[in-house]
Amino acid sequence: MGLEKKWKKILFREYGVQYAEISLRSLSEEVGDLIPFHIKDQIYIPEGNLEVCYIDESDWDNLIYYLSMKWTINNIKDYETMFIKSGKDYLNYCLDMTPLNFSTFSDSKLRETYLKYQKYAVNYTSFIWTAYILSNIFVEKAEEVLKKYMNQDEIDKYSSSILAPVKKAATLELQDKAARLRKVTPNDVKNLYELFKWKECLDIHHPPKSIDEFKEEITQYNETGLPESQSHESILEQLKISDEDRKMIETAKSLAYIKDLRDDYRRQSVYHARCSIFKEIADRMSIKIEDVSFLQEIDIIRFLDNRTVPTYIEERKCGFMLFFSSDDLKIKCVGDSIKFHKRKIDFECEHCDITTSLEIAQSDVKGLTAQNGCIKGRVKIVKVKKDLEKIENGDILVAHTTNPSYTQYMLKASAFVTDEGGMSCHAAIVSREFKIPCIVGTSNATSVFKDGDFVEVNATKGYVKKLS
């Protein structure tokens, strides 16, 4: 790594060491031909209470380019088939582990099972990356198709709904099931909990909700009621869209669903692995299961080989750095010496694609309209899951991104604004479902605004303006 690198900030997440390592490996040569371009220069660095992924900008652009060349309208169905197979393989392996009595396993047998789990996780995570990129590519292509048939005002009004996912993933499916109940009974809570108790497990250190917390969530969905049914098939019929162009639109809708579904496979798999193999690893180390999330693969292997218990878990909870280098393909984890290692690999802020002080001084931001509407309210910044507890009815939720764990709290907000995302992201899907104004992909909203700011969200025109 050197000064010629231009680091692009890709995402903010509440990741532990375990999943951040898998994330980096899933874009490397380890996954073979699952991706058409392997990225070696990648870093996770702590910023605040989050881990931020940076990738060399030219490498990221090359990955997008090669994916767009490899997967076209003519063979994208093959990709979808591969995605589903990888997700099911990962989940089924975790389900198969659930009934096993790991306490009877020798250290060497547990080691073998754990490494096999890691392989499934790394391979599937490559699909998490590629599904995200391909969905964005095909949504952009579909929007270009719509320009043949609609003016810009019509595209702004209808495209987000026309290109909505062809099916609902787990969180919206749960909302539908809860909203259709006449009254939430204990039996309803128990049945739905068994179906969806895994959905909070973004990572090993994110436990599932208790059944009482789950009851509170579905009661809220029940009181909110069903969203309006949205169908724009009649609009497409009126526009007389050609079969070829309709195929592009349907592909974009299908990939939007795949983009949402990727989190369902992952969270179910993490939940079952958390309850089985990672619980056994934690028990043998005499640590909390959440602490396993801050261990690398080499830490766990070293323990299973010679019972060496790591002593640096608490340090890593305060911030860790993982990186691949084109000169050194080993992953490294650093605690309080992060600044030293950033200098060692020539990672400097001036070479990063990050928000500048000039941008932070602005009083408004711009982004993509995901759901039309204009609303005024007080900002609540959400950077980590715990911040969701701040949201009160009518607030403007401003976040780096949203995920299914946010949905219950999002329904309190009068509008959503995110740094990341496109027309098929989670915030966009929820906003369209419940007709809540939403702007995504601003890149800097969480930096420009702060808690309590009074703002106008004009989602129709795609801007958020700070008011006096």
pLDDT tens digit sequence for 382-411:
999 899 999 999 999 999 999 888 998 999
Write phi, then psi, for 459 (nearest 5 degrees): -70, -25
Give me the pLDDT at residue 355, please.
Answer: 42
Interval 364-385 mean pLDDT: 92
Model confidence at 331: pLDDT above 80: no
pLDDT at 362: 55
Across residues 441-455, what is the average pLDDT? 94
155 to 65, 143, 158, 372: CA distances (angstroms): 26, 8, 5, 11
Question: What is the pLDDT, as a whole number, of residue 54?
Answer: 94
Token representation of residue 154: 């019509």
| Beta carbons within 10 angstroms of residue 256's beta carbon | 28
> How many CB atoms are located within 10 Å of the residue 143 CB?
19
- At 273, the pLDDT band (50, 70, 90 cuts) reads very high
When pLDDT is cut at 50, 70 and 90, the band that residue 358 belongs to is: very low
Secondary structure of residue 162 in the 3-state scheme: helix
Q: Give the pLDDT of residue 363.
A: 62
Side chain identity at residue 19, one-letter code: Y
DSSP letters spanning 380-404 = EEESSGGGGGG--TT-EEEES---G
- In which band, very low, low, confident or very high, does the pLDDT at 43 lie, cut at 50, 70 and 90? very high
pLDDT tens digits, residue range 121-164? 999 999 999 999 999 999 999 999 999 998 888 877 777 778 88
pLDDT for 111 equals 98
Give the global pTM: 0.91
Q: What Cα–Cα distance (Å) separates residue 228 from each residue in 179, 225, 253, 372, 465?
A: 12, 9, 19, 15, 29
Q: How does residue 357 score in pLDDT terms, banded at 50, 70 and 90?
A: very low
Q: Which two tokens stand for residue 463?
A: 């801007």
**Ranges 106-110, 357-361, 435-439: which has the least confidence:** 357-361
Predicted confidence at residue 354, as pLDDT, reads 42
Q: How confident is the model at residue 326 (pLDDT cuts 50, 70, 90)?
A: low
pLDDT bin (cut points 50, 70, 90) of residue 321 is: very high
pLDDT tens for 222-272 read 888 776 665 667 777 788 889 999 999 999 999 999 999 999 999 999 999
Residue 244 has which token pair? 């070829």
Buried b (16+ CB within 10 A) or exposed e, 312-349: ebebbbebbbbbbbeeeeebebbeeebeebbeebebee
Mean pLDDT to the nearest integer, 344-373? 65
Q: Which two tokens stand for residue 269?
A: 């798999």
Mean residue pLDDT across the chain: 90
Residue 340: C-alpha distances to residues 40, 83, 336 (Å): 21, 40, 9
pLDDT of the residue at 202: 92
Q: Give pLDDT, residue 225.
A: 77
CA distances from 170 to 47, 411, 413, 452 (A): 30, 16, 21, 32
Sequence-separated (6 or more) residues with CB below 8 Å from residue 93: 116, 117, 120, 269
Domains of the chain: 7-135+269-352 (no CATH), 155-265 (no CATH), 357-466 (3.50.30.10)
Weakest-pLDDT range from 3-7, 38-42, 348-352: 348-352
Distances (CA, A) of 438 to 144, 404, 408, 421: 21, 16, 16, 11
Quote the tokens at residue 270: 């993490």
What is the tens place of the pLDDT at every residue in 423-432? 888 998 899 8
Gyration radius (Cα) of the chain, Å: 22
CB 63 within 8 A of CB 27: yes
pLDDT in the model for residue 230? 57
- At 337, the amino acid letter reads S
Give residue 205's identity as a one-letter amino acid code: H
The pLDDT value given to residue 352: 57
State the pLDDT confidence band at 350, using cuts at 50, 70 and 90. Answer: very low
SS3 243: helix
Helix ranges restricted to H, 180-276 = 186-196, 211-224, 233-239, 243-275
Q: Exposed (0-12), middle (13-18) or buried (19+): which is 240, by Cβ within 10 Å?
A: exposed
Average pLDDT in the 165-175 region?
Answer: 91
Return the closest-CA partner of residue 256 out of 93, 423, 104: 423
Residue 41 has pLDDT above 90, yes or no: no
